[in-house]
Amino acid sequence: MSDDNRSRKAACLEDLRRRILTQELEPGSYLDETRISEAYRISRPPLREVLRQLAGDGHVVLHENRGAQVAPMTHKTLRNFFVAAPMIYAAVTRLAAENAKPNQIKRLKDTQLLFRAAIRDGDTAERALMNERFHAIIGEMADNEFLTPSLRRLLIDHTRIGMTFYNLRNRALAEQRAVAADQHDQFIALIEAGDADAAADLAISHWELSRAEIESFVTPASIQIPLGRAPGVQEQRGAS
């Protein structure tokens, strides 16, 4: 494969991944291989390699005779997401504090700068992607072949859920995002210090912040509708 073909294949992989995470490609939708092949100017064999890699990471599901489907988000997967998230985040972050290398910590700091810049610029998609990258780097630090696939799958749905409810006009969410950004700085400090217990505790607090955001979106306050008088009440009073 030529360097040009490798470059197009890499661009296809990264762009499809981004479009899935930002929900430009909706959960449960099927990918049109012909259109993708034409759009990225790659042939079917390298495209299928891209789709297999996306499937291996959990972004898509491959169905025989039906092609690639963007990973669905069902009631079951969402429930399992809520059950597993705090356990996986805490375990991964604890291991990261024990195993992090200097070059990984530098990448984490660089990603945090980009995360804060996205918040400042009001770039919802970039904010979500930089948050995903931040926690993925923590996963790399943990260096655990059993936890890494679970974290990778968790971050896919966490990012997509965040894209669903994030609203720049919601002041409460904006305040929570500021707290989340500050907690990222705390993650860096604790991991750099090797404080595994405190890092794991912070992971739980960080998850609870996300869970509260999600719950506030899923269960909003009821709309207050003035009902007025019941039919006939005024007439009856007037008649008496």
Please check whether residues 7 and 104 belong to one and the same domain.
no
Contact criterion met (CB below 8 Å) for 200 and 91? yes
Burial class of residue 199 (count of CB atoms within 10 Å of its CB; 0-12, 13-18, 19+): buried
- The size of the chain, in residues, is 240
Spatial distance between the Cα atoms of 187 and 59, rounded to a whole number of angstroms: 26
For the stretch 165-185, pLDDT in tens is 665 555 556 677 889 999 999
- In Å, what is the CA distance from 205 to each residue of 127, 147, 180? 20, 20, 10
**CATH number of the domain bearing residue 46:** 1.10.10.10
Please check whether residues 159 and 195 belong to one and the same domain.
yes
pLDDT at 177: 80
For the stretch 58-94, pLDDT in tens is 999 999 988 999 999 999 988 999 999 999 999 999 9
- DSSP sequence for 59-70: SEEEETTTEEEE
Contact criterion met (CB below 8 Å) for 215 and 208? no
Please check whether residues 11 and 91 belong to one and the same domain.
no
Residue ranges making up the domain that contains 44: 3-70
Spatial distance between the Cα atoms of 106 and 55, rounded to a whole number of angstroms: 29
Query: Can you tell me the mean pLDDT for 193-201?
Result: 98
Contact criterion met (CB below 8 Å) for 104 and 138? no
For residue 225, being part of any structural domain is answered with: no
Residue for token pair 């660089």? 110
Q: pTM, whole model, 2 decimals? A: 0.85
